[in-house]
Amino acid sequence: ASYFSIDAVFETEEKEMFDAKLLTIEEKKIATGKDFDSTGELASKKVVLLDEDAARDLQQKLTGQAFSVTDVDRKPYTRKPKAPFRTSTLQQDALRSLRFSSSRTMSAAQRLYENGFITYMRTDSTTLSESALTAARNQVAGLYGKEYLPDAPRTYGTAKGAQEAHEAIRPAGDTFQMPTDVAKQVNSDEAKLYELIWKRTIASQMANARGERLAVRIAGESTDGRATVFGASGLTITFPGFMRAYVEGSDNPEADLDDKEKHLPAMAEEDDLTAVKIDAVGHDTKPPARYNEASLIERLEELGIGRPSTYASIISTIQDRGYVWKRGAALIPSFTAFATVGLLEEHFSDLVDYEFTARMEADLDDIAAGETESRPWLRKFYLGNGSPGLARMVVERLGEIDARQVNSFPIGEDDNGQLVEARAGRYGPFLSRGDDTAPIPDDIAPDELTLEVALELLSRPSGDKILGTDPESGLTVIAKNGRFGPYVQLGDADPADKKNKPKTASLFKTMEVDSLSLDQALQLLTLPRVVGVHPETGEEIHALNGRYGPYLKMGSDSRSLESEEELFTVTIPKAVEVFAQPKRRRGQSAKGPLKELGEDPDTKKPIVLKEGRFGPYVTDGETNASLRKGDTIENVTPERAQELLAERRAKLANT
């Protein structure tokens, strides 16, 4: 939904300027983004929704009018520190502050723990031991002064169902090593994570931040007599307290603005103000934010699903199985996820109920604590006891499942009344309309697949593009998309002639069907080409483009070429030189990088993006990591490359 606000810049008599927003008109509140529900509808009819015409009209009728301060409200501000980290909050803040995935966080934490820098990293406790409290308070006093210490050590509440088998995640030992000292002994990820843990631990034992909030109300009247009230707010921090050491990361920068320091000029009631500028500003409501790893773990914790030891594996599993993919930090559900959830909710709803899962987690906690025996619990779950068990449910309901129905998602109807639907297929999602089908591009999220987008995808050619006619043969040159990638074909295939197939040639990796010219296609169709005869062996040398890249062939011998373009330019002298070199094993051809992505913080080696046998990947020369679904060559950033490599190293370390 769209809405408008009226923003103003006011100036005091001392020529100091500040920003304000229109709050009310004729004592009715002006609608803001907070007044809309998750569907974009106004949640209350008691607010005034300004459209563009009304906003522009009001802007004109307020310009040049007189304004004065009607109220100045000062209130004390206090902000308390957060509890020390437990597993879930560490993963959440590492994503928000360091952009670490949960698996990357846990891998770095594991190494810090194993090397004696932090306490055990799988815990649901926020409790610090007596020695830790003493160490933290001593460090606070030494670094910041005794005024930053509360009168007594701080203690924090325990989450419902917490096992508290370990204390909170903190620096190890009776005295805490400084982050600068630890950084000299560990890699980049570990150093950053240790510093985050150290800051949170120290801050948890520091005094509150204190300050003053100031709210000012400014009254004015439009030229047609309507009473308006503008508002401005400020925050002054008088004592930073724990904020000297640590401020938590946030998923919601707009909400976080409430705690940002913002100074307003000194004002008193009845002060006259000048409106230097009044603007009508347009806004669009935004859908609820997608989950990222941090917010998903937070939600799992609220629902009682998962435990400190399982959060990272849950996040990894849903990605590895193709249920979600990443766009930046956001987790995007796939059509496979919708099909799976739909099947389970329709046929096994009891097993995917949040409360059932939370109860099961609690039962497993009791088993782990020795309060419940495991075998009777498993017998009841699998065979049932007064209610159907898993075995009976599967047998009874398996025959009811309609695979096509489960994997189909109606989108709408075209102009002829034909149903258009998305389907989760074995080889990826696709669109279906009668006998017409079209693949759904990997970068389209299910909620973005509107009827308009679907019809546009279905209207595209099946991948065939007629480029023109070959002047020598008179046959049509066609560009196609095939199972192994795009290619060009000379003439149409005759279904009745199985022996004589049309000549084809794969496109180079730098080429695209949409921009391919006839001249380029004809040049591709000259491959394989005869380069010439080797002067010593008398054998013909051929230039070919194969499954593993461009290469030269002479009899049973072959050598890789550096680039596909060389297929057309390589000469006999160059070919002789290439064959004189030792033969590389497959995969050793020195292909140039597609993209350079800076230095890896762990190995201090350059990261490059390359094209490999199984697709693009990033490497620092020691570790290779394939791009995930949602990653593209164009959008891979240095930070994303570092994350992929760190996750790959963590996976290799745990195998």
For residue 254, what pLDDT is reported?
Answer: 46
Interval 602-613 mean pLDDT: 84
Mean pLDDT taken over the chain: 88
Q: Are residues 200 and 215 in the same domain?
A: no
Answer yes or no: is 492 within a domain.
yes
**Residue 177: inside a domain:** yes
Looking at the fold, whether 556 and 644 belong to one and the same domain comes out as no
One-letter amino acid at 325 equals W
DSSP assignments along 410-477, one per residue: EEEE-TT--EEEEEEETTEEEEEETTEEEEPPTT--GGG--HHHHHHHHHS-SS-EEEEE-TTT-PEE
pLDDT band at 255 (very low <50, low <70, confident <90, very high): very low
Coil vs helix vs strand at 646 = helix
CATH value at residue 215: 2.70.20.10
Same domain, 203 and 92: yes
Q: What is the pLDDT of residue 649?
A: 83
Chain segment 14-52, per-residue pLDDT in tens: 999 999 999 999 999 999 999 998 888 898 889 999 999
Is 108 in the same domain as 191? yes
- What integer is the mean pLDDT of 320-327? 90
Give the number of other CB atoms < 10 A from CB of residue 21.
15
Averaged pLDDT, 361-376 = 89
Which of the listed ranges 154-168, 256-270, 516-530 does the model predict with the highest average pLDDT?
516-530
Over residues 534-544, mean pLDDT:
92
Expressed as residue numbers, the domain containing 600 is: 595-653
Asked if residue 587 belongs to a domain, the reply is no
pLDDT recorded at residue 587: 46
**Lowest mean pLDDT segment, chosen from 249-253, 290-294, 348-352, 441-445:** 249-253
460 in a domain, yes or no? no
What confidence tens digit (pLDDT) does each residue in 466-488 have? 788 898 888 888 888 765 678 89
Q: Are residues 603 and 635 in the same domain?
A: yes
Residue 130 pLDDT > 90, yes or no?
Answer: yes
Check residue 142 and give its pLDDT.
96
Neighbours of 73 (CB within 10 A): 10
Are 33 and 285 in contact by the 8 Å Cβ rule? The answer is yes
Residue with more model confidence, 66 or 288: 66
pLDDT value of position 90 = 95
Position 257 pLDDT exceeds 60: no
Predicted local distance difference test score (pLDDT) of residue 259: 60
pLDDT at 12 over 80: yes
Q: Is the pLDDT of residue 589 over 80?
A: no
Q: Are strands 557-560 and 549-554 parallel, antiparallel or unpaired?
A: antiparallel
Q: What percent of the chain has pLDDT over 70?
A: 93
The residue type of 333 is: P
Give the integer Cα–Cα distance in Å for 645 and 629.
15
Q: Is 625 exposed, middle or buried (0-12, 13-18, 19+ CB in 10 A)?
A: buried
Is 469 within 8 Å of 459 (Cβ atoms)? no
Distance CA 451, CA 419 (A): 10
The total domain count for the chain is 7
Residue finishing a domain among 183, 207, 231: 207
The residue among 507, 524, 541 that closes a domain is 524
Cα 112 from chain centroid?
Answer: 26
Separation between Cα atoms, residue 35 and residue 1, nearest integer Å: 11
Give me the phi and psi of 557, to 5 degrees please: -95, 150
One domain, residues 331 and 393? yes
Residue ending a domain, among 422, 455, 488, is 455
CA distances to 29, 62, 217, 271, 609 from 66, rounded to whole Å, are 21, 9, 14, 11, 61
For residues 59 and 45, state if they share a domain: yes
pLDDT attached to residue 584:
62
Residues 562 and 501 in one domain: no
CB 132 within 8 A of CB 205: no
Predicted model pTM = 0.67
Distance (Å, whole) CA 581 – CA 141: 68
Q: How far apart are CA 93 and CA 250, in angstroms?
A: 8
pLDDT given at position 45: 85
Helices 87-98 and 102-114, packing angle to 10 deg: 110
Are residues 200 and 138 part of one domain?
yes
Residue 590 domain-assigned (yes or no): no
In this structure, is residue 586 part of a structural domain?
Answer: no
Same-domain pairing of 100 and 175: yes
pLDDT at 164: 60
Confidence of residue 323 (pLDDT cuts 50, 70, 90): very high
pLDDT of residue 437: 82
Residue 533 has a pLDDT of 93
Over 60: is that where the pLDDT of 253 sits? Answer: no
Closest CA to 233 of 71, 78, 79, 80: 71
Instruction: Please name the residues in contact with 93: beta carbons below 8 A apart, sequence gap of 6 or more.
Output: 85, 196, 200, 248, 249, 294
- Considering the domain architecture, whether residues 25 and 108 belong to the same structural domain is answered as no
Strand partners, 5: 281
- Is 442 or 237 the better-scoring residue by pLDDT? 237
477 is a domain residue: yes
Q: What value does the mean pLDDT take over residues 600-622?
A: 83
Is there a single domain that holds both residue 178 and residue 95?
yes
User: Would you name the residues annotated as active-site residues?
Assistant: 120
Alpha-carbon distances of 244 from 81, 126, 148, 162, 258, rounded to whole Å: 11, 21, 9, 30, 18
Q: What is the mean pLDDT of residues 375-393?
A: 88
Residue 507 has pLDDT above 80, yes or no: yes
